Chain A
Amino acid sequence: MTATSDHPTSTDVPSNGLSRRSFLKWSAAAGGGVALASGTNQLGLLPGSGLWASEDEDGGLETRWSACVVNCGSCCPLRMQVAGGRVVRVLPDDTGDDELGSQQIRACVRGLSYRQRMYSPDRLKVPMKRVGKRGAGEWEEISWEQAYDEIAEAVQRIIDEYGNEAIYLNYGTGTIRGTIAKSWPPAITPIARLMNTVGGYLNHYADYSTAQIQGAVAYHYGGWIGANSLDDAKSANLQVLFGNNPLETRMSGGGEAFVTQRTREQSKVRTIVIDPRYSETALGVADEWVPLRPGTDAALVAGMAHVMVSEDLHDQEFLDSHCQGFDEDHMPEDVPEGSSYVAYLMGEGPDGVEKTPEWAASITGVPADTIVRLAREIATTKPTYINQGWGPQRHANGENQARAIFTLVAMTGNIGIRGGSTGEREGSYGLPMANPYASENPVETSIPVFAWTDAVEKGPEMTATNAGVQGADRLEVPIKMIWNYAGNALTNQHGDINRTIELLEDDSKCEMIVVIDTRMTVSARYADILLPDAMNAEQLDLVAQGSAGNMGYTILGDQVVEPPFECKTVYEMCSEIAKRLGTEEDFTEGRTQEEWVRHILDASREDIPDLPSFEELKEMGVWRDPNPPEVGYVPLEDFRADPEEHPLPTPSGKIEIFSTELWEMAETWELPEGDRITALPEHLDTWEGPAEARERDDHPLQCIGHHYKQRTHSTYGNLPWLEEAHPQIVWMNPVDAEERGIGNDDTVEVFNERGRIRLPARVTVRIAPGVVSVPQGAWFTPNEQGVDVGGSVNTLTSWRQSPIHKGNAQHTTLVQIARA
């Protein structure tokens, strides 16, 4: 509601005689509301006025299909109403229904704001070249010809001088669901396709979402298995979600949020959410919320496992036949006694500490009697559906955190059955679309996704055993050129933004940065050449589905309107650059973007015979696979039935609770002081972990960064509609707020030795004491004093990596908070 200074102030009662105060409960709470900008119509930039004024608005409305293609995990069709060549309204899907398997895929608050993102004043309009210091914001407009020429020259020069390995494709997920205009996975982007025509580029492995859990599955299961889809929780009698929050992260009303809600509504499956925050998922579907300190899931699991072993509640039979390393009788050869998980639990391992519920309570914050009760319930309820989101693993001890949760599922024998899981994140049904557009990278060397700043700084010092380099023993050269397409991990989404910027400002290190984006993001500020991209609704593309439980679907995203200003498609940009490198034919294979889309559809029809034709799909927008499997996806069914016949790709062929490879790596890898690799999924106290928090007076609060409704990572940031609906705030518990004299909505500063942000406090009982959460993805906006008034959590996070997969440990951060 609008609370402005000229709001009537009289306490006189209206003519109906009711005292205003007697019934203004609802509005009373707005008494402290800010005066909203009632004089400025922020929508002046939307079609019909200002910069974007359309000359030929004739009032005729046409509706065309597009989609929201960002990286939330969902993917929603959008119906765009067009008048006079402008999008004037964005409507949700109106096909499908409210049943699981054929659900209407209703866009969330972000997708519905697409029009404002499209017509935002942040849109890039013409190619630009940096003229001042990198990042200083001084630009010169250049022609497309000049841009293409200079980029092609730079690519050629860097290949000649340093080799292809010096050219890096940075992680970016701003345009993730398309096929031709696609920024992730890196290997199937148009930039990769372009670079592959001239000898390739330096790879990275894993991603900012899942780096540690990918490192965990590799050793525990031998690779990514997936988990039962969320709708399969209907077959369970208990659902346990560790740090998984689909109602906020995968918020589509057709994707996992809808699937979770519907499944719970229909099956009434009892649900426990384990999370430092009372997340939207806890609020929406949980019967019980178990808050714990961030980074302590493995300790909680150990405490519960101790109860199960002590009370003989675990599934010994499954552990005997399917797992390595649970007890001393199932160990690989040449491993000393006391190396099993049971030994670890019972204090018979090297640390000699028994992992009692009391031990776990002091680490996690969860009372011991709660741990005992949970252990009994989880062990004795069959089947129990256990899964984890990406929160537990985004820590300095993230690989072990993820593996501990897998171990809990093995101990309770819930793997490979309906209503059970693998303990990984939910799987979903996906259409087996063909991708003839993909090509192969001749360069095999690969670095951890989060290690690119190291590769810029000290490339050849990075080896397989000190930095996780794969495909080669070491890096030959530092990164000298970065392509940054539809991504913000060049700065905003990486750790320690201030340090990252300092690195980028030195253009003797990374010599060339090309940014392709639709708007002036924080990362775009650090480009040498900046190319204005067309949004997905401004080009034709095939949009593969997002995660939606047991439903397969695909969308043909039309070119709803022409690209504005001088914006061009990434396909055209790459074709033109390829032309200058002499490889245009290799890149395009003689096809236009539309011809590629038709070609891919035709190729996909071989495996999906019912897939409609291009024309049909264009008309219908969304096509749902009428033949998905009857039940939710159940991975490892065959392994469960016969582990000898269907072994896992681990050294033992079994689930490795004790990982032979990690055991070896613990001996051979060089780690920073204090870091440890363990063969078992032990709880590790790490740098800036919960134990350190309680010892430090300067930075006593653990800071995490939850995914927020305002944005998908940083996409959809900086839009007035969404900033009004979901302003950037830092969550803190009233106990911590009171100690610091902080009230709800007070402006505060959150800081540590790496940086300082300023934003309002949300004093809320919905977060554990000692923990604060700065929703990740806000746009870094330093003021003159260097305080980030945009409130980006990565102003506070670090470059330090997890030990195994060298992942981004962005939830392992200590801070202090004070009133601003």
Chain B
Amino acid sequence: MAVTLGFYFDQTLCNGCKACQIACKDKHDTAIGVNWRRVAEYGGGTWQITGDTFSPNIFANYLTMACNHCDDAVCVDVCPTTAMHQREDGVVVVDDDLCVGCRYCEWSCPYSAPQYDAETGRMSKCDLCTDYREAGLDPACVAACPSRALDWGPIDELREQYGDVAGIAPLPDPSVTRPNLVIKPHHSAEPVGAATGAITNPREV
């Protein structure tokens, strides 16, 4: 069995710049509206106003998200044509010859990773930059992150190095799909389910 690959995300370093999203877009020439990597801004809290003064009790953080090449990939499960499938290294890919663009995978994925490409009428998604990795390079998003907040590798090694947090708000509970993802949470991150905040840039994700 080949090693299973995954992403690492250091949320403490993310300033929401979306260089990852654009590096991905530039490499894969995805259309507007098709983003294999997206960045959510998440936050909440309140302000206290007393007379002429104000005090914030607020928080905010960013979360970049691509496909997590999950152990229990629901997108693969729901695909009626078997176009969506998982390779030996855990990377989930679409077989263009089989995909009919029904979008069940997009609908089922809690991370909205598979993205419908209206030009081709098929699904498209992150393949962890297979071609780059074969050439000994990092995936485009990892190489581009100005903050060095992203990494990738065998998930066992990532977990050993960075721990095993795989879900924070607003992500789903990791038990749902068992994502190959490790997150170092921002100081303000909220746990899955105990969330008081909301995504503040819904149109962008």
Contacts and interface: CB of A to CB of B under 8 A. Distances in A.
A265 B118 CA distance: 43
Given A8-B103, A112-B23, A769-B54, A15 B77 contact: yes
Interface string B103-118: 1101110111001101
B189 to A, nearest CB: 12
Interface stretch (B1-9, B55-63, B82-90, B154-162): B55-63
A6 B46 CA distance: 37
B22 A34 contact: no
Contacts of B19: 106-109, 112, 253
A251 B22 CA distance: 15
Contact of A112 (B22, B56, B199): B22
A261 B146 CA distance: 10
A681 to B, nearest CB: 22
A766 interface: yes
A26 B38 CA distance: 11
Given A7-B107, A291-B56, A765 B45 contact: yes
- Interface residue SS majority, chain B: mixed
A14 B107 contact: yes
Interface in B110-141: 110-112, 115-116, 118-119
B120 to A, nearest CB: 10
Given A1-B112, A26-B205, 9 more contacts: A29-B198, A42-B32, A106-B144, A112-B19, A248-B17, A257-B15, A291-B56, A362-B52, A365-B52
Interface stretch (A89-97, A339-347, A385-393, A591-599): A89-97
Interface string A265-292: 1000000000000101001100001010
Interface string A36-48: 1111111100100
Interface in A116-135: none
B142 to A, nearest CB: 11
A106 B54 contact: no
Nearest to B117: A38
Contacts of A32: 202-203
B16 interface: yes
B170 A253 contact: no
Given A89-B27, A367-B50, A769-B49, A26 B172 contact: yes
A464 to B, nearest CB: 40
A765 B58 contact: yes
A751 interface: no
Given A15-B77, A23-B173, A26-B170, A725 B116 contact: no
B96 interface: no
B14 to A, nearest CB: 8
B99 interface: no
Given A15-B77, A26-B172, A109-B19, A291 B205 contact: no
Interface string A712-728: 00000000111011110
A18 B147 contact: no
A724 B169 contact: no
Nearest to A726: B18
Contact of A33 (B14, B49, B203): B203
B167 to A, nearest CB: 10
Contacts of B169: 25
Contacts of B25: 721
A678 interface: no
Nearest to B202: A29
B21 A109 contact: yes
Contacts of B201: 762
Contacts of A251: 15, 17, 146
Nearest to A723: B32
Contact of A709 (B17, B27, B34): B17
Given A34-B203, A370-B55, A725 B33 contact: no
A532 to B, nearest CB: 25
A29 B144 contact: no
A113 interface: yes
A108 B148 CA distance: 12
Nearest to B112: A1
A252 B146 contact: yes
A417 interface: no
B74 A18 contact: yes
Given A89-B26, A367-B53, A257 B146 contact: yes
Interface in A5-58: 6-8, 14-16, 18, 20, 23-27, 29-34, 36-43, 46
Contacts of B144: 92, 106-107, 112
B109 to A, nearest CB: 8
Nearest to A284: B15
A36 B32 contact: yes
B38 A1 contact: yes
22 contacts: A2-B33, A8-B103, A16-B74, A25-B110, A29-B170, A29-B198, A43-B29, A46-B29, A92-B23, A94-B143, A251-B146, A253-B148, A254-B146, A283-B186, A284-B13, A366-B53, A709-B18, A720-B32, A725-B18, A734-B47, A744-B202, A765-B60
Given A16-B78, A18-B176, A765 B26 contact: no
Interface in B183-205: 186, 192, 195, 198-205
B111 to A, nearest CB: 6
Interface in A613-647: none
A764 interface: yes
Interface residues of B, number: 80
A107 B171 CA distance: 28
Contact of B202 (A33, A42, A726): A33
The 6 closest A-B pairs by CB, nearest first: A253-B146, A36-B33, A29-B199, A1-B112, A38-B118, A765-B58
Contact of B116 (A2, A735, A744, A769): A2
Contact of B104 (A14, A363, A762): A14
Nearest to A370: B55
B118 A30 contact: no
A404 interface: no
Counting chain B CB atoms within 10 Å of each CB, the highest count among A15, A98, A370 belongs to A15
Contacts of A112: 19, 22-23, 26, 144
A254 B61 CA distance: 22
A220 to B, nearest CB: 29
Given A29-B205, A733-B47, A765-B45, A15 B78 contact: yes
A367 B203 contact: no
A648 interface: no
Contacts of B27: 89
B115 to A, nearest CB: 6
Contacts of B145: 106, 253
B67 interface: no
Contacts of B16: 280, 709
A37 B33 CA distance: 6
Contact of B31 (A29, A41, A257): A41
A373 to B, nearest CB: 12
Contacts of A33: 202-203, 205
A308 interface: no
A682 B31 CA distance: 53
B176 to A, nearest CB: 5
A26 B22 contact: no
A361 B21 contact: no
A577 interface: no
Counting chain B CB atoms within 10 Å of each CB, the highest count among A724, A726, A762 belongs to A724
A24 B177 CA distance: 12
A745 interface: yes
Contacts of A542: none
B146 A14 contact: no
Interface string A355-398: 00000011101111010000000000000000000000000000
Nearest to B119: A41
Nearest to A735: B47
B78 A14 contact: yes
B32 A37 contact: yes
B47 A725 contact: no
Contacts of B172: 23-26
A567 interface: no
A790 to B, nearest CB: 18
